[in-house]
Structure 1
């Protein structure tokens, strides 16, 4: 993989005291990006069709082709991992839940009624929000009112989730349709942000929207087909453009006044080929853009020159300088974590 970045990219991560977690559907990688000795540091772990990412206090969830992976934080051992002293946070896979290929577009940790971490999953195939338990493929928890029933038909392409106060607040759909894959025929101007509590559309007329986010009493959304970050007024539905983006935008994290946005090249398929931004196909980039929300200026970029064609999700890991995802069976530097105490039958 070859990449290049603007001079400010590492410095902005350091100043914001954060690192990034990026999923790449087509390349099948979860990527942790941090800074060590003033230079960008990358750590990779392979997950088949890596999609949505949810970062909690102790657990990191990653959606894959047919399962949701659970990675446990092991930051106590991170400084000892080679090269010693480089890393300050570490996540390692501990379990996976087989869901089948539900197209897990986004995920987020909420808070249950008992105060426990509660994972919400955007189940695109079944047009619903879902949870997990130990018995079922998934547990349906909410669906838009225009969806008449559960079916593996991707009726509206429900794809994005914004949390507020520990609960789902807004979702994005590409069209308010109840027909099997009905969104594909009208996707370029039929997108909407839906209020979860009421089931009503907050704003409509978007082009293939993704990644709604509630941040400091503001609602943001990626108008992906037009390559724009927009601010939405939930009371009126009006949208103000924040920034134009040189790629198909999908994956948004906001931290300390900065928006970290995933940018992808358009794959020439029946799904993406007709998007308005596809008219500029030769100019589109794949990587991460950092937008200053106060001005709408692009203040730094990271671009992948090869190996990665599309970004699926982007999450910020706060208070993290240089994270690692450990090794793996395919890298030759796999990490094992054992109990500190020996079993009583051993000397």
Structure 2
């Protein structure tokens, strides 16, 4: 069953879900967030008290990478990185339904640097993929960003999106692997290398683990291996970081961006093609071979079997999604948008008076 939230201002979107999604989320004690940069929206998906799916939707211009830490959500947007905090105290429920209410408390202005994926290190610092400048970066109080790493083949930090650096995997509280569409070192050079030559790079050593990928995204560490999206082929893959050998796990019917792992499953987002996105890619041929139409939605994939066990499908004005994050232990989250009337009257404070030292 579904609950469809209000449609975006520029047109309707119908959301359907698999019959078992609500039971799956309750059984696995999780909810999740996903973003659409195309329409600038953050969706929070959970299960209402009556057992139906809830879609809470808020507007954040060009919503991109999303990262969840207990009680906190980070979100990359057109020119800012947002920090949303859960305003509820333990045991509180909002509107008799929601066990988490995320409120935007900070927006760090970065300028339009094409923020892709976001994470936090062991010290709690926000680290993000700065795609326009082909580097990993952290926030800076005085400047738009502070670069902390760039691929060895990038000769200069310039606003040229040279290799389309896009994904980042953390290990032991540090960025460990990244994905890029190519090793190009000229402005927009990656666009001529979409079909092959995509790379997984070890950040600690600058080693190219493999260059046999097609438009890769979203590396994630899973035990001794690295999972990634081989988006140009429509495959979730497993990579041996020692040898670079890749193994296909599951084919997904759309352009893959964004992946989150939970209890032996991968949450992934799929999108419909834009401006010939599929043209010349193996994905295009695979879709035709399967006599299939591309999806826009979120898929939950059993990593052991490669089966899609649950799904969300969006049909209408929203045709592209970006990232997804799992919220473990949260049944039904909601958020409040920064430009809503509701945020003006949503005020909370610590009622314990603490005199200044």
Query: TM-score scaled by structure 1?
Result: 0.92
Equivalent residue for 1:64? Answer: 77
Q: Describe the SS at the equivalent of 2:121.
A: strand
Counterpart Cα distance in 1 of 2:213 and 2:110: 30
Equivalent residue for 1:321? Answer: 331
Residues 28-47 of structure 1: pairs in structure 2 closer than 5 A: 28-36=40-48, 37-47=50-60
2:218 pairs, out of 211, 216, 219, with: 211
Contact 1:78 1:324 in 2 (8 A): no
- Which consecutive residues of structure 1, in runs of 5 or more, have no partner in the other structure? none
Equivalent residue for 2:5? Answer: none
Equivalent residue for 1:227? Answer: 234
Contact 1:107 1:120 in 2 (8 A): yes
Contact 1:214 1:220 in 2 (8 A): yes
1:275 pairs, out of 274, 277, 281, with: 281
Per-residue deviation at 1:334? Answer: 5.8
- Which consecutive residues of structure 2, in runs of 5 or more, have no partner in the other structure? 1-12
Equivalent residue for 2:113? Answer: 102
Counterpart Cα distance in 2 of 1:327 and 1:30: 9
Per-residue deviation at 1:90? Answer: 1.6
Structural RMSD (CA): 2.0
1:159 pairs, out of 166, 185, 191, with: 166
Contact 1:78 1:89 in 2 (8 A): no
Count of equivalent residues: 337
1:132 pairs, out of 108, 129, 139, with: 139
Determine if the alignment matches structure 1 residue 27 to structure 2 residue 33: no
Per-residue CA deviations over 1:75-95 (Å, capped at 9, x if unaligned) read 32884422x2x1111211011
Q: Relative to 1, partners in 2 of residues 1:331 and 1:298: Cα closer, same or farther, differing over 3 Å?
A: farther
Counterpart Cα distance in 1 of 2:189 and 2:337: 42
2:312 pairs, out of 302, 311, 322, with: 302
Per-residue deviation at 1:109? Answer: 1.2
Contact 2:94 2:100 in 1 (8 A): no
Counterpart Cα distance in 1 of 2:316 and 2:246: 34
Per-residue deviation at 1:277? Answer: 2.0
Counterpart Cα distance in 1 of 2:256 and 2:31: 19
Equivalent residue for 2:8? Answer: none
Determine if the alignment matches structure 1 residue 244 to structure 2 residue 254: no
1:15 pairs, out of 27, 38, 56, with: 27
Q: Relative to 1, partners in 2 of residues 1:185 and 1:58: Cα closer, same or farther, differing over 3 Å?
A: same
Equivalent residue for 1:89? Answer: 100
Q: Describe the SS at the equivalent of 2:165.
A: coil
Counterpart Cα distance in 2 of 1:93 and 1:272: 36
Per-residue CA deviations over 1:3-52 (Å, capped at 9, x if unaligned) read 11111111111111110110111011010000112211111110000001
Query: TM-score scaled by structure 2?
Result: 0.89
